[in-house]
Structure 1
Amino acid sequence: MDILLIDGVALPAPNEYKVQLSDLDSSDTGRTEDGVMLRNRVREGIAKISASWAALSTADCARILNAVTPDSFEVAYFFGAMRTARMYAGDRTANLKAAREGQAVWEVAVDLIEF
């Protein structure tokens, strides 16, 4: 089973994978002077996916980083069942772990955030 697809293309299975769901409150949300919370939630369940891969080839590293280059893309992701959302890439890192005889080993991490 594919865990993560970007614009219909399956990415390698990540070594670490975390889905976080957040709420979005309106700008008039806050506390009164006496500390009472006034909350106006305008949207719930906004997904943020943190995924990382270890021991990737240069080709797989490039495939992941190229997939998250556009301003936005469709992500199908596993969270008990497959879900789909329009997302953008937050932080992206690629760490070169080893390089010998023209071969490289990379660690890659990406945050994907729902619009």
Structure 2
Amino acid sequence: MAGSLAINGASVKQPKSFNFGVMDLDGESTRNAKGKMTRDIIRTGIRKIELEWGPLSDGEISSILQAVNVSFFSVSYPDAMTGGQRTGTFYVGDRSAPSYSWNDKYKSMKWEGLSMNFIEQ
């Protein structure tokens, strides 16, 4: 993946999957008597980043999850719209971390990966 990913200024392990999206925020949208759509556009160009990591160590997964365990955080990432690195303020959606296996001997979990979405404030 071109560019790098950092949360609150700290580099994190690069994800195996990075999906960049742009959304618009509409107020009330209606159709008039002729069927023509009218939109009340509140804001355009809101970024959404869908991320998925492969296997992670306990330390790697913990540092990523703790970094996004706040209301809003800074993310530096490769931005398709600007064609370069960009920094924005985001919040996180649902987070999912499937386990790979449990090691009874060491009483530890191995993580198959981690997935989450970042939505721009």
Does TM, scored on the shorter chain, surpass 0.5? yes
| Offset, 1:10 | 0.9
| Offset, 1:97 | 1.1
Aligned position for 2:90: 87
The aligned amino acid for 2:86 is: R
CA offset digits 1:34-63 (Å, max 9, x no partner) = 421001222111001110111101111111
Percent sequence identity over aligned pairs: 32
Question: Does 1:96 pair with 2:99?
Answer: yes
Gaps of 5+ in 2: none
Aligned position for 1:23: 24
The root-mean-square deviation of aligned C-alpha atoms, in Å, is: 1.7
The aligned amino acid for 1:82 is: Q
Instruction: Report the structure, 1 or 2, having the larger strand content.
Output: 1
| Offset, 1:104 | 3.5
Aligned position for 1:114: 120
Aligned position for 1:9: 10
Query: Following the alignment from structure 1 to structure 2, what is the Cα–Cα distance between the partners of residues 55 and 36?
Result: 49
Aligned length: 114
Runs of 4+ aligned structure 1 residues displaced above 4 Å come to none
TM-score by length of 1: 0.88
TM-score by length of 2: 0.84
Checking the alignment, whether the CA contact within 8 Å between 2:50 and 2:116 is kept in structure 1 is yes
Checking the alignment, whether the CA contact within 8 Å between 2:6 and 2:76 is kept in structure 1 is yes
